[in-house]
Chains A and B, each alone.
Chain A
Amino acid sequence: MKEEVKEKEKEEILRILEENARLSDNEIAKMVDMDEGGVKSIISELENSGIIRKYKALINHEKAGIETVQAVIDVKVSPERNTGYDSIAERISRFPEVKSVRLISGEYDLSVLIQGKTMHEVAYFVAEKIAPLEGVRNTVTHFLLKTYKENGEMYEEEEKGERLAVTL
Chain B
Amino acid sequence: MSDRVADRVKGLKGSGIREFFDIAQQMEGAISLGVGEPDFVTPWSIREACIFSLEKGYTSYTSNWGLLELREMISDKVYTDDSVYYDPEGEILITTGVSEAFDLAVRAIANPGDEVIIHEPSYVSYKPCTLFTGGSPVCVDTGVGDEFKLRAEKLEQKITDKTKAIILSYPNNPTGAALSRKDVEEIADVVTEHDLLVISDEVYGKLTYDGKHTCFSSLNGMKDRTILLNGFSKAYAMTGWRLGYAAGNKDIIEAMMKIHQYIMLCAPITAQMAAMEALRTNDEMEQMVSEYNRRRRLMVEGLREIGLSCFEPKGAFYTFPSIENTGLTSEEFAKRLLLEEKVVVIPGSVFGASGEGFIRCSYAVSQYEIKEALKRMGRFLEGHRVV
Selecting from A25-33, A38-46, A52-60, A93-101, the interface stretch reads A25-33
Contacts of A61 on B, CB cut-off 8 Å? none
Q: Are A168 and B350 in contact (CB under 8 A)?
A: yes
**Contact mask for chain A residues 138-168; partner B; CB cutoff 8 A; 1 contact, 0 none:** 0000000000000000000010110111111
**Contact A165/B34 with A20-B367, A158-B41 known, Cβ cut-off 8 Å:** yes
Query: Looking at the complex, which one of B27, B30, B297, B350 makes contact with A30 (CB distance below 8 Å)?
Result: B297
B76 within 8 A of partner (CB): no
* A131 on the B face (CB < 8 A): no
Contact A168–B36 (Cβ < 8 Å): yes
- Give chain B residues whose Cβ lies under 8 Å from the Cβ of A166: 21, 24-25, 32, 34-36, 344, 346
Interface string of A1-16 (1 = CB under 8 A from B): 0000000000010011
8 A Cβ contacts from B30-81 to A: 30, 32, 34-37, 39, 41
Q: Does B134 contact A (CB under 8 A)?
A: no
Contacts of A33 in B (CB 8 A): 297
A160 pairs with B41, CB closer than 8 A: yes
Chain A residues with Cβ under 8 A from B294's Cβ?
A: 16, 31-32
B35 touching A168, Cβ below 8 Å: no
- Is B41 within 8 A of A30, CB to CB? no
A158-B41 Cα distance, complex, nearest whole Å: 10
Which residue of A has the minimal Cβ distance to B300? A30
Task: Specify which chain B residues have a CB less than 8 angstroms from the CB of A20 in the assembled complex.
Answer: 367
B302 at the interface (CB under 8 A from A): yes
- Of the residues B37, B290, B298, B301, contact of A163 by C-beta under 8 Å: B37
Tell me how many residues of B have a C-beta within 8 Å of chain A.
28
Q: What total of A-B pairs shows CB separation below 8 Å?
A: 58
* Contact code string A79-104 (vs B, CB < 8 Å = 1, else 0): 00000000000000000000000000
- Would you call A164 and B298 a contact (CB within 8 A)? no
> Which A residues lie within 8 Å of B32 (CB)?
163, 165-166
- Provided the pairs A165-B25, A165-B35, A167-B36 are in contact, do residues A31 and B298 lie with their beta carbons within 8 angstroms? yes
List B contacts of A31 (CB < 8 A): 294-295, 297-298
* Across-interface contacts of B30 in A (CB, < 8 A): 165
Binary contact track B356-376/A, C-beta < 8 Å → 1, others 0: 000000000001000100000
Q: Which residues of B sit under 8 angstroms from A158, Cβ to Cβ?
A: 41
**With a CB–CB cut-off of 8 A, which chain A residues contact B302?**
30
Residues of B with C-beta under 8 A to A161: 41, 240
Neighbouring A residues of B37 by C-beta, 8 Å: 163-164, 167
B237 to chain A, nearest CB (A): 11
A20-B367, A31-B294 are known contacts. Are A167 and B35 too (CB-CB below 8 A)?
yes
Contact of A27 with B350 in the complex, beta carbons under 8 Å: no
B380 at the A interface (CB under 8 A):
no
Q: How far is the CB of B30 from chain A (nearest CB, A)?
A: 7
With the chains together, A161 CA to B42 CA distance in Å?
11
Whole-angstrom distance between the alpha carbons of A163 and B369 in the complex?
14
Whole-angstrom distance between the Cβ of B222 and the nearest chain A Cβ: 28
A125 to B21, CA, bound (A): 61
A30 to B21, CA, bound (A): 31
Chain B residue with the shortest CB-CB distance to A30 = B301
Q: Provide a sorted-by-A list of 25 A–B residue pairs whose CB atoms are within 8 angstroms.
A: A12-B290, A20-B367, A23-B367, A27-B367, A27-B371, A30-B297, A30-B298, A30-B301, A30-B302, A31-B295, A31-B297, A31-B298, A32-B297, A165-B21, A165-B27, A165-B32, A165-B35, A166-B24, A166-B25, A166-B32, A166-B344, A168-B36, A168-B123, A168-B350, A168-B351
Give me the 10 closest cross-chain CB pairs, A-B, nearest first. Answer: A167-B36, A31-B294, A165-B32, A166-B34, A30-B301, A166-B21, A168-B124, A165-B24, A165-B25, A31-B297
Chain A: residues with CB nearer than 8 A to chain B? Answer: 12, 15-16, 20, 23, 27, 30-33, 158, 160-161, 163-168
Given contacts A167-B35, A168-B346, 7 further A-B contacts (CB under 8 A): A12-B290, A31-B295, A163-B32, A166-B35, A166-B36, A166-B346, A167-B37
